[in-house]
A and B are shown apart, each in its own frame.
Chain A
Amino acid sequence: MVPITSLPGPRPGLGAGSAGLRAPELSEPALSVEGLTVRLPGREVLRDVSFSVAPGELTGLIGSNGAGKTTLLRAVLGLQGLAAGRVAAKRPIGYVPQKVLLDPDLPVRARDLVGLGLEGTRLGLPWPSRARRARVDELLGSVEASSLAEARVGTLSGGEQQKILIAHALARRPKLLLLDEPLANLDLKATQEVVALLSRIAKTHGVAVLLSTHDINPLLAVMDRVVYLAGGRAASGTTDEVVQTDVLSALYGHHVCVVRLHGRVLVSTTDEHGEQGCDVAADAWEGAGPTTVRAVVPAPGDEGSSS
């Protein structure tokens, strides 16, 4: 069983990739979070969260709204004060924020936005050069968006904008790439494209990718590791290790069911029925058929956990 980091007792297997069978050996983690606790006025958002992300790995940060995903990413970026714990991240860090709203009239082409990733925070005017242009072209190519270079970013579709923002974040050759809900508001096809792209970027560029999402399913096929947040606590490991009824029940602090069907995962709450409740959930799910599954995931009751 994977340890839930805030439970008392020793924490075996949470070091750099030691719990993950596929983690590259001997490679130093690009991100290591130990005993992270974050308090915002009036509440504890994260409690004793520990995990690490190795280069070339894609890690999903899973949790419902309010589980602390954005707070965790902000802590990694150094924008959030820590009440306790330690965050060690290799720099530079690439970052794709949540919900970037781009006005269609915005006089900024995809090429300009990617160029701003190269040195967008520096003072002074940018000087065009052949090398700079070639690098922007290369970045656009690496996210399969070369044909969008001259288009205004605000006129692109959600999936296309996400690709451009990823190219922007990759500009400074980050060791660690953080993405906050990059799959929100994307349709199925765009979701698949962005997930495949991120998986490829992790493998070919050797970047450690950490992306937050409330729906684990689009990531199941490509995710090397999962950090599951609930009630401010986290469980981490490979998907098979973490997404288990006993692990997630311990994390949530009450019984939850993990049902796998048609290559998808459903996490749902039960009342006191225990294992029998899980069977009921599975039956209900089977009855509903795979077409409605997306509406069922993520788990209801995430927020009401008794943490």
Chain B
Amino acid sequence: MFSGFMVNTWLGGSVMAAVAGLVGFFVVLRGSTFAAHAIPQGAFAGAAGAALIGVNTLVGTGTFALLGVAAIALWSRHGRNDVVTALVLVSLLGVGSLFLSLSTEYAQQAFSLLFGSPLAVSSSELVPTAALGAFCVALLAALYRPLLLGSVAPELAITGPVPPARAELGFLLAVGVATTLALPVVGALLVFSLMIGPPAAARQLAGRPSLAMGLSAALALVTAWVAIAASYETNWPVGFFVGTFSAVWYVAGRAWAAWSRRARASVGPRARQKLALGRAS
């Protein structure tokens, strides 16, 4: 499991999972889960097109992810964000289905692009994967405070040097990069589960932003590792395990939060004081 071509998958998978966890923190914080769903679907068309004309999947995925990001960011200024996002999704997905139908290896190709493959990372892709991952982390670090403030309340960020529209573009770009890295391994349909499950669980567990973001990346890493190992052993798709584990994290996070609330409420003077405060106001 840890030899030969699988080493590439472990390395590439770790980079994409950490990046997806970090980006996902803002996806959940900003309520942008629909964009995180639509951009991978658009990128799928690029992957299918790349397979059709015989170029590297990473190039095709990246190009179409960027296309989706640009379309959503541009059109959202003039129309409703969810409608624009949906239209970008369906138009690119349509192109993807055309590309696939033109391909001779239709079934096999479609399956691995949609549901992922543990053998998707080749040696030649490791360096670009690492570079894209580093770019994405740098982008998030640069935009951390404006994004966080804008996520809490967009009105609070309007007077700052980074206008919310530009911060949003940077954020979507990060989603596009994370998509490009994760799509070949996890599959287009389930890329966004890595950007939703771990951060949604992390924000239940951690009350401060930096901690929640770190925990989100850690949970995404564990999810990816378990999924790759399980997929290797069972020959089931990686996407299945990623999707399942993401949901499990979320349910576990909610359960823990509910349990700890109850535990706090049943003991301690601080809890009682807090309850009294809650009643007073």
Most buried by B among A98, A113, A116: A116
User: Given A112-B208, A124-B141, does the pair A107, B202 have CB atoms closer than 8 Å?
Assistant: yes
- What per-residue 1/0 map shows which CB atoms of A115-136 lie under 8 Å from chain B? 0100111111110000000000
Q: Are B160 and A120 interface neighbours, CB within 8 A?
A: yes
User: Given A121-B161, A123-B162, does the pair A106, B152 have CB atoms closer than 8 Å?
Assistant: yes
User: Given A79-B158, A100-B155, A107-B209, does the pair A120, B203 have CB atoms closer than 8 Å?
Assistant: no
Q: Are A124 and B145 interface neighbours, CB within 8 A?
A: yes
Q: Within the assembled complex, what's the spacing in Å between the Cα atoms of A158 and B212?
A: 24
User: Given A105-B204, A125-B141, does the pair A77, B159 have CB atoms closer than 8 Å?
Assistant: yes
Q: Pick the contact of B149: A116, A124, A157, A160 (CB < 8 A).
A: A116
Chain B interface secondary structure, helix, strand, loop or mixed? helix
User: Given A77-B159, A122-B161, A152-B207, does the pair A116, B148 have CB atoms closer than 8 Å?
Assistant: yes
In this assembly, does B174 line the interface, its C-beta being within 8 Å of a C-beta of chain A?
no
Q: Within the assembled complex, what's the spacing in Å between the Cα atoms of A77 and B152?
A: 20
Could you list 26 A-B pairs, sorted by A, with CB under 8 Å? A79-B158, A79-B159, A95-B159, A98-B155, A100-B155, A101-B153, A102-B152, A105-B204, A106-B152, A107-B29, A107-B211, A109-B207, A112-B208, A116-B145, A116-B156, A121-B159, A123-B142, A123-B145, A123-B161, A123-B162, A124-B145, A125-B144, A125-B145, A126-B144, A150-B207, A157-B281
Smallest Cβ-Cβ distance to A123: which chain B residue: B142
Q: How many whole Å from B38's CB to the nearest CB in chain A?
A: 22
In this assembly, does A189 line the interface, its C-beta being within 8 Å of a C-beta of chain B?
yes
Q: Within the assembled complex, what's the spacing in Å between the Cα atoms of A113 and B158?
A: 16
Q: Within the assembled complex, what's the spacing in Å between the Cα atoms of A152 and B260?
A: 14
Q: Are A121 and B162 interface neighbours, CB within 8 A?
A: yes
Across chains A and B, the number of contacting residue pairs, with CB separation under 8 Å, is 97
Q: Within the assembled complex, what's the spacing in Å between the Cα atoms of A81 and B148?
A: 27
Smallest Cβ-Cβ distance to B202: which chain A residue: A107
In this assembly, does B119 line the interface, its C-beta being within 8 Å of a C-beta of chain A?
no
User: Given A93-B159, A107-B206, does the pair A120, B146 have CB atoms closer than 8 Å?
Assistant: yes
Q: Within the assembled complex, what's the spacing in Å between the Cα atoms of A93 and B159?
A: 9
In this assembly, does B143 line the interface, its C-beta being within 8 Å of a C-beta of chain A?
yes
Q: Are A109 and B161 interface neighbours, CB within 8 A?
A: no
User: Given A107-B203, A160-B281, does the pair A121, B149 have CB atoms closer than 8 Å?
Assistant: yes
Residues 83-98 of A contacting B (Cβ, < 8 Å): 93, 95, 97-98
Q: How many whole Å from B275's CB to the nearest CB in chain A?
A: 12
Q: Are A108 and B208 interface neighbours, CB within 8 A?
A: yes
User: Given A105-B203, A107-B203, does the pair A187, B160 have CB atoms closer than 8 Å?
Assistant: no
| Chain B contacts to A: CB under 8 angstroms | 29, 141-146, 148-149, 152-153, 155-162, 202-204, 206-209, 211-212, 277-278, 280-281
In this assembly, does A190 line the interface, its C-beta being within 8 Å of a C-beta of chain B?
yes
Q: Are B209 and A97 interface neighbours, CB within 8 A?
A: no
In this assembly, does A56 line the interface, its C-beta being within 8 Å of a C-beta of chain B?
no
Q: Using Cβ atoms and an 8 Å threshold, which residues of chain B touch A101?
A: 153
Q: Are B156 and A108 interface neighbours, CB within 8 A?
A: no
In this assembly, does A233 line the interface, its C-beta being within 8 Å of a C-beta of chain B?
no
User: Given A95-B159, A106-B29, A160-B281, does the pair A124, B209 have CB atoms closer than 8 Å?
Assistant: no
Q: Are B159 and A107 interface neighbours, CB within 8 A?
A: no
In this assembly, does A175 line the interface, its C-beta being within 8 Å of a C-beta of chain B?
no
Q: Within the assembled complex, what's the spacing in Å between the Cα atoms of A125 and B208?
A: 14
In this assembly, does A69 line the interface, its C-beta being within 8 Å of a C-beta of chain B?
no
The 4 closest A-B pairs by CB, nearest first: A121-B160, A97-B155, A107-B212, A157-B281
User: Given A97-B156, A112-B208, A112-B209, does the pair A124, B142 have CB atoms closer than 8 Å?
Assistant: yes
Q: Using Cβ atoms and an 8 Å threshold, which residues of chain B touch A158?
A: 281
Q: Are A120 and B148 interface neighbours, CB within 8 A?
A: yes
Q: Within the assembled complex, what's the spacing in Å between the Cα atoms of A123 and B145?
A: 6
Residues 36-61 of A contacting B (Cβ, < 8 Å): none
Q: How many whole Å from A7's CB to the nearest CB in chain B?
A: 34
Q: Are B155 and A113 interface neighbours, CB within 8 A?
A: no
Q: Within the assembled complex, what's the spacing in Å between the Cα atoms of A95 and B152?
A: 15
Q: Using Cβ atoms and an 8 Å threshold, which residues of chain B touch A153?
A: 152
Q: Within the assembled complex, what's the spacing in Å between the Cα atoms of A158 and B280?
A: 12
Q: Are B281 and A189 interface neighbours, CB within 8 A?
A: yes
Q: Are A120 and B281 interface neighbours, CB within 8 A?
A: no
Extra contacts, 7 of them, besides A93-B159, A107-B29 (Cβ < 8 A), are A95-B159, A107-B211, A122-B145, A122-B160, A125-B144, A126-B144, A157-B278
Q: Are B207 and A187 interface neighbours, CB within 8 A?
A: no
Q: How many whole Å from B104's CB to the nearest CB in chain A?
A: 48
Q: Within the assembled complex, what's the spacing in Å between the Cα atoms of A93 and B207?
A: 29
Q: Are B153 and A126 interface neighbours, CB within 8 A?
A: no
Q: Using Cβ atoms and an 8 Å threshold, which residues of chain B touch A112?
A: 208-209
Q: How many whole Å from B24's CB to the nearest CB in chain A?
A: 13
Q: Are A107 and B208 interface neighbours, CB within 8 A?
A: yes
In this assembly, does A159 line the interface, its C-beta being within 8 Å of a C-beta of chain B?
yes
Q: Using Cβ atoms and an 8 Å threshold, which residues of chain A touch B141?
A: 124-125
Smallest Cβ-Cβ distance to B152: which chain A residue: A108
Q: Are B145 and A126 interface neighbours, CB within 8 A?
A: yes
In this assembly, does A225 line the interface, its C-beta being within 8 Å of a C-beta of chain B?
no
Q: Within the assembled complex, what's the spacing in Å between the Cα atoms of A179 and B206?
A: 31
Q: Within the assembled complex, what's the spacing in Å between the Cα atoms of A121 and B167?
A: 10
Q: Using Cβ atoms and an 8 Å threshold, which residues of chain B touch A160?
A: 281
Q: Within the assembled complex, what's the spacing in Å between the Cα atoms of A101 and B149?
A: 13
Q: Using Cβ atoms and an 8 Å threshold, which residues of chain B touch A98?
A: 155
Q: Are A107 and B146 interface neighbours, CB within 8 A?
A: no
Q: Using Cβ atoms and an 8 Å threshold, which residues of chain B touch A119?
A: 145
